[in-house]
């Protein structure tokens, strides 16, 4: 299992569209993926799961992936966080 810490840096945090982009970025990878913060861990492939974190900007989250394509799935998540979900801010 892979695990990385990252701080949410886009202006609106893990809001609805960002959650949808995360789920879409993970779609098709043969890997399980989760996000954890404040003692709560959710399936990163589920929009409603990700939204339930209600994670705003500045929140530190732990990303976890597991399975045959765990590395690619982790990279896809990290890229999206680092690109601030392509929100141009």
Nearer Cβ to another protein (36/51): 51
Q: Are 68 and 35 in contact (CB under 8 A)?
A: no
Among 23, 31, 73, 77, binds another protein (CB under 8 A): 23
37 belongs to the binding site for another protein (CB under 8 A): no
43 belongs to the binding site for another protein (CB under 8 A): no
From the list 24, 53, 57, 49, the residue with the least C-alpha distance to 39 is: 53
Q: Are 3 and 64 in contact (CB under 8 A)?
A: yes
The residues that touch another protein, with contacts defined as CB under 8 A, are 16-17, 19-20, 23, 46-48, 51-52
């Amino acid at each position: 299992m892979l695990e990385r810490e990252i701080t949410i840096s886009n202006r609106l945090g893990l809001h609805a569209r960002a959650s949808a982009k995360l789920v879409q970025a993970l779609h098709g990878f043969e890997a399980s993926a989760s996000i954890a913060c404040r003692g709560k861990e959710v399936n990163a492939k589920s929009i409603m799961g990700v939204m339930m974190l209600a994670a705003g900007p500045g929140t530190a989250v732990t990303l976890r992936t597991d399975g045959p394509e765990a590395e690619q799935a982790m990279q896809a998540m990290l890229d999206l966080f680092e690109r601030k979900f392509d929100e141009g801010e």
